[in-house]
Amino acid sequence: MSATADNQAHLALTVLVNGEVHIEYHRGRPLAEGQRACLERMDERMSGGVQLGDQWVAQPDSLQRAQFVAIQVIEALRSDNEALIAAGCAYLASRLPELTQIKASLVDGAFSAELVFNQPFVHEVAVDFSPRRLS
């Protein structure tokens, strides 16, 4: 991978569901003032606590906030809520620059999500070849 391609990979936040890429959010684009204000409001609301699974977290740290927002992004994908997807990805990309992937697994209507740091997503390429016979 070239230095430019490597840099571009680190700029991307990739959301995968069951191994399939659903979103590639690129950090290189600056946020408008209104978008930055929206992210600040998200932080303010989360300061009052967040629900993570069956646990209420009264004072979430940055990782717990990221987990909460990642869950919201996956839920938004399931309901095709593009505004929430965009806001959630912008929040995660701006607040956690080392976050490179969200890997979600959907099974029977339930899901789990894993946050992956400093490991950019690499598109796999299948190569079909026939082995040569050795003489």
Asked if residue 16 is part of any domain, the answer here is yes
Asked if residue 103 is part of any domain, the answer here is yes
Helix (H) or strand (E) holding 77: helix 62-79
Structural contact between residues 72 and 64, judged by C-beta atoms closer than 8 angstroms = no
What pLDDT does 124 receive? Answer: 62
Cα 86 from Cα 76, distance rounded (Å): 9
What pLDDT does 3 receive? Answer: 42
Report which of 67, 46, 70 is spatially closest to residue 58, judged by C-alpha positions.
Answer: 46
Q: Can you list the pairs that 31-36 forms with residues at least 24 positions away whose Cβ atoms lie under 8 Å? A: 31/90, 31/94, 35/87, 35/90
Asked if residue 122 is part of any domain, the answer here is no
What pLDDT does 100 receive? Answer: 94
Asked if residue 99 is part of any domain, the answer here is yes
What is the full per-residue pLDDT of the chain (135 aa) written as tens digits? Answer: 434 444 444 579 999 999 999 999 998 888 889 999 999 999 999 999 999 988 999 999 999 999 999 999 999 998 999 999 999 999 999 999 999 999 999 888 788 889 999 877 776 666 666 666 766
Asked if residue 8 is part of any domain, the answer here is yes
Instruction: Give the chain's domain count.
Output: 1
Asked if residue 134 is part of any domain, the answer here is no
Asked if residue 125 is part of any domain, the answer here is no
What pLDDT does 122 receive? Answer: 72
Cα 19 from Cα 6, distance rounded (Å): 21
Domain hosting 60: range is 3-117
Structural contact between residues 16 and 122, judged by C-beta atoms closer than 8 angstroms = no
Asked if residue 127 is part of any domain, the answer here is no
